[in-house]
Amino acid sequence: SAPDAVRVMEVGPRDGLQNEKTILPVADKIALVDRLSACGLPAVEVTSFVSPRWVPQLADAEQVLAGISRRPGVDYPVLVPNLVGYQRARAAGADSIAVFTAASEAFSQRNTNASIAQTLERFAPVLEQARADGVRVRGYVSTVLGCPYQGEVALDDVVQVASALHAMGCAEISLGDTIGVGTPAKARAMLRAVAGQIPMAQLAVHFHDTYGQALANVLACLEEGVRVVDAAVSGSGGCPYAKGASGNLASEDLVYLLHGLGMHTGVDLAALAATGQWLSGLLDQPNRSRTGTALARQ
Ligand code: HMG
Ligand code: MG
């Protein structure tokens, strides 16, 4: 029988770069996306059409999206916070977007200057227009396992926000441990609660590795049945509005785990690791992927 397949959503060009102080040249960002799609990744999140005042690193979103070479069959979503962002994204050629909100009120305010309810109100016209345009929409819920401002986040709040995004028409809901405080039992319980309301096939998990739990959390969620996992090449990343958040789960580490489990990803791990080494050099940072570092030594 065919091996179990996992869809790896590469978020490095967006989540990986958004918090970097040194602005990477447009050509390097385009090369990053193209190298990632050439690795066989089925989805590469390209950039964000957010306010350039809020996220200066991604002020070049139009140029990056226009510059990439699209591979047939690859999904290239971009983050959109509101209708202004949607219109910018569409004008730049986006055919797949992601909206984002949080399970914590305090985080929603700091990240988007709006309450959770206000973010959902902002998304309503975006989803309506996206449906008319045939644009795929992913919805992110942040702070699903803890908030840097509020602390504990209730499971019910996660389920409610995820359900609201699903009811509005998001094709997929990504559950984000924005600050990487979750542990496997908590991650499993959270996923199970959300999957009580939304089909597992429409759920994704998104872990940051602040406390070194990201890969363990993924394993628990795979056992629970999730088959879409977000990760960033070289473990780059962090949210500028999530104090104390560190990098994303490294894509190389995720792919190494999945292949070790006999699961199919379609990803060329050697090419992915080389891309992570190259990006770490560009950012003048140590490679935060353990697998990437190990493969680079061989
Ligand atoms: P605001 O300042 O409240 O916006 O920001 P506003 O509606 O009052 O507008 C103020 C000005 O911004 C206006 O311009 C607007 O036109 C402009 P002015 O009239 O003053 O010249 N503006 C825009 N310009 C360009 N693109 C836009 C846009 N919207 C308004 N889209 C806003 C509200 C939501 C825009 C702002 O808070 C924002 O951009 N926030 C984004 C923050 C962000 O990107 N955070 C990181 C992504 S989320 C994340 O990382 C978590 C995730 O990885 C999952 C996880 O880990 O949990 C996804
Ligand atoms: Mg994130």
pLDDT band at 241 (very low <50, low <70, confident <90, very high): confident
pLDDT at position 240 is: 80
**Mean pLDDT, residues 15-35 taken together:** 96
Residue 244 has pLDDT above 80, yes or no: no
What's the mean pLDDT when you consider all of the chain?
Answer: 96
The ligand with the least distance to the CA atom of 174 is 1
Which string of b and e fits 124-161 if b means at least 16 CB within 10 Å?
Answer: eebbeebeeeebebbbbbbbbbbbbbbeebebebbbbb
Residue 178 has pLDDT above 70, yes or no: yes
Q: From the alpha carbon of 144, which atom of ligand 1 is closest? A: 57
Q: Which among 147, 170, 221, 239 is annotated as catalytic?
A: 239
Q: From the alpha carbon of 177, which atom of ligand 1 is closest? A: 57
**Mean pLDDT, residues 119-136 taken together:** 98
| Token duo for residue 73 | 């069959």
CA–centroid distance, 154 to ligand 1, in Å, is 26
Chain centroid, CA 99 distance in Å: 11
Q: Cα–Cα distances in Å, from 22 out to 18, 25, 110, 201, 285? A: 10, 9, 22, 37, 11
| Token duo for residue 92 | 């730049």
Q: Cα–Cα distances in Å, from 225 out to 160, 174, 175, 220, 234? A: 20, 14, 14, 9, 26
pLDDT at position 135 is: 98
pLDDT at position 211 is: 94
Does ligand 1 come within 6 angstroms of the Cβ of 84?
A: yes
Active site annotation includes 39: no
Which of residues 34 and 240 earns the better pLDDT score? 34
For ligand 1, atom 36, name the residue with the nearest CA. Answer: 112
> pTM here?
0.97
**Mean pLDDT, residues 73-89 taken together:** 98
Does ligand 1 come within 6 angstroms of the Cβ of 50?
A: yes
Q: From the alpha carbon of 81, which atom of ligand 1 is closest? A: 34
Does ligand 1 come within 6 angstroms of the Cβ of 256?
A: no
For ligand 1, atom 3, name the residue with the nearest CA. Answer: 113
pLDDT, tens digit, for every residue of 179-189? 999 999 999 99
Q: Work out the percent of the chain whose per-residue pLDDT is above 90.
A: 94
Q: From the alpha carbon of 239, which atom of ligand 1 is closest? A: 50
Distance CA 33, CA 56 (A): 19
The ligand with the least distance to the CA atom of 53 is 1
Q: Cα–Cα distances in Å, from 259 out to 111, 145, 252, 268, 274? A: 35, 27, 11, 10, 17
Does ligand 1 come within 6 angstroms of the Cβ of 45?
A: no
